[in-house]
A and B are shown apart, each in its own frame.
Chain A
Amino acid sequence: MSIDKATAAHVAKLARIKVEDDALPALAEEFNTILGFIEQLNEVDIEGVEPMTSVTPMRLKRREDVVTDGNMQDKVLSNAPDAREGFFAVPKVVE
């Protein structure tokens, strides 16, 4: 499986990372190097082997479904690049 320029552009779009057009061929080449390395996994017989979901066999803990914190709007917003009137501000989303 070889990645071309168009696939690289599609992956960049999915990852929401702007990649300039002239950088795409080099990026595609890097992907191909890495994927070429990963291809080795095809040699392994995985018939009947379950995909690992948890490295330590344990059941995730449960807790009461109750509010455990809150009322800290100022703290939540304190690191925002743009916060106004108690909200995160972003460029216009809806026309």
Chain B
Amino acid sequence: MSDLSKLTIAEARDKLRGGEVSSVELTKACLTEIDAADALNAFVHKTPEIALKQAEHADTRIAEGDAPSMCGIPLGIKDLFCTRGVPSQAASKILDGFRPEYESTVTNRLFDAGAVMLGKLNMDEFAMGSSNETSTYGNAVNPWRRGNDDTSLTPGGSSGGSASAVAADLCLAATGTDTGGSIRQPAAFVGITGLKPTYGRVSRWGIIAFASSLDQAGPMCKSVRDCAIMLGAMAGHDPKDSTSADLAVPDFEAALTGDIKGKKIGIPKEYRMDGMPSEIEKLWADGAEMLKDAGAQIVDISLPHTKYALPAYYVIAPAEASSNLARYDGVRYGRRAHLAQGDGVTEMYEKTRAEGFGHEVQRRVMVGTYVLSAGFYDAYYNRARRVRTLIKRDFELAFADGIDAILTPATPSAAFGLGEMSDSDPVQMYLNDVFTVTVNLAGLPGIAVPAGVDGKGLPLGLQLIGRPWEEADLLNTAFALENAAGFVSKPGKWW
């Protein structure tokens, strides 16, 4: 038992460069932790051979003295990323057996920077869920528990495996993706830091698509500094994604001075929801106080269309999903249903999709099909897109008033028990994303930072929302919050 897997990226980088540790040692330490953590069901495809080969190569590069920050760093990769020759199935049965012949741009960039892939991580099926309970691999489990109560808790979703793996120190960091909060909500549920970049900052090429106008990949890490380092390696223009921005990628880590004197931090009154737990309210107030003590100016602001973000999202995201998931037809890749004598091509589609998609995915595809169907397109889809314009405008007006970042809670509660929401209607589960979904609709960067624990000892997170393309400034504000909050709690090891 070593503590190597507990290192942050920044610590490991310095130890690797200083020759104190090798990437092979670091990787082996993580692989040992992973093998002992099957109870968390975070890693669903382990790739030790690939990892050790990449680690050996990284050690050579480091020895040659020309290694980028991510060189030799062992990571977990969300199952949504296509990785060449390695199962990549978006936690869906319909992609059983799919082994891509190509590498996603994000993993390609990370591997070019010398990062090591330990394996693929559990998630909600096609990233549709907030609890990692829709996965074909079964639930991922949160390493945190409510005190001595051994109830299994959700690590959140959709990037639940990523969250669980990082919080349990199975890897140094992980990739996540965020369509409505799928990086920030799980990060908050397990007490780690997760960043959703500005839409277009990170290439979507090779990431299995859910809702293309909302999807964005980002880092899930043990610190703000690690998010800055890892984002630098993931980001950049990609000709293969026409929506990826042709903008220079700044040195995000260099922006971390912790100095936020004079910054204007907005507190949106619409995020004070009815029935918000007092612990969340207190955390939020404490967070504002910390930023104020660090020299920022706290300003009350209004984002009047906030209330309509979730309903707009539940038109737009299913509509795009219905279109994106039309490709799973049992013809080109993945799994085809067994057909009866005389079944034609239509039966093949219908049976394949009924067997291959889980319940939540089927529901969203059908809702999306409905809102796009003739006669309803204007009433639902176009109306939602117009409301989306207004939601984005709310933020633009706040930023035009000189607001630098917006502080909100990351989630409306701490992690809940696996199965606890199974009797609720789907809308109850959707409410998990109430604070995060606005950010995707407006294309903005957002980061969840662990800031405290609730009465049962579970982590709680705050969210900071930044101006478009100003992740560097956002990370610096998050760094100041992280320094002030001083969150150092770790889950007690039971697995």
Question: Which A residues fall within an 8 A CB radius of B?
Answer: 3, 8, 11-12, 14-19, 27, 30-31, 33-35, 37-44, 46, 49-56, 58, 60-61, 63, 72, 75-76, 78-82, 88, 90-93
Closest chain B CB from A53 CB (angstroms): 8
Closest chain B CB from A73 CB (angstroms): 11
B354, A18: Cβ atoms under 8 Å?
A: yes
B378 and chain A: residue at smallest CB distance = A51
Q: List 29 A-B contacts (CB under 8 A).
A: A11-B369, A14-B369, A17-B354, A17-B362, A18-B351, A18-B353, A30-B425, A34-B367, A34-B427, A38-B311, A38-B314, A39-B311, A41-B308, A41-B312, A41-B384, A41-B387, A46-B386, A49-B386, A50-B389, A52-B385, A58-B245, A60-B242, A60-B243, A63-B239, A75-B101, A79-B332, A81-B335, A82-B336, A93-B345
Give the complex CA separation of A17 and B353 in angstroms: 5
Q: Is the interface of A mostly helix, strand, loop or mixed?
A: loop
A17, B365: Cβ atoms under 8 Å?
A: yes
A62 and chain B: residue at smallest CB distance = B242
Q: Is the interface of B mostly helix, strand, loop or mixed?
A: helix
Most buried by B among A12, A55, A72: A55
A14 and chain B: residue at smallest CB distance = B369
Most buried by B among A52, A61, A76: A52
Instruction: Report the interface size class on chain B.
Output: 35 or more
B331, A80: Cβ atoms under 8 Å?
A: yes
Give the complex CA separation of A75 and B390 in angstroms: 45
Give the complex CA separation of A56 and B86 in angstroms: 33
> B322: CB under 8 A from chain A?
yes
A55, B344: Cβ atoms under 8 Å?
A: no
When distances are taken between beta carbons in the complex, the residues of chain B under 8 Å from A79 are: 97-101, 332-334
A30, B242: Cβ atoms under 8 Å?
A: no
Give the complex CA separation of A46 and B383 in angstroms: 8
When distances are taken between beta carbons in the complex, the residues of chain A under 8 Å from B425 are: 30, 33
Give the complex CA separation of A19 and B353 in angstroms: 10
A31, B343: Cβ atoms under 8 Å?
A: no
> B363: CB under 8 A from chain A?
yes
B374 and chain A: residue at smallest CB distance = A14
B245, A56: Cβ atoms under 8 Å?
A: yes
A48 and chain B: residue at smallest CB distance = B386
B387, A44: Cβ atoms under 8 Å?
A: yes
Task: With A38-B371, A41-B384 given, name 5 new contacts (CB 8 A).
Answer: A46-B390, A50-B386, A54-B213, A56-B200, A91-B343
A15, B365: Cβ atoms under 8 Å?
A: yes
Contact indicator per residue, chain B 233-259, by CB within 8 Å of chain A (1) or not (0): 000000100110110000000000000
When distances are taken between beta carbons in the complex, the residues of chain B under 8 Å from A8 are: 366
Contact A93:B200 (CB < 8 A) given known A37-B314, A55-B442: no
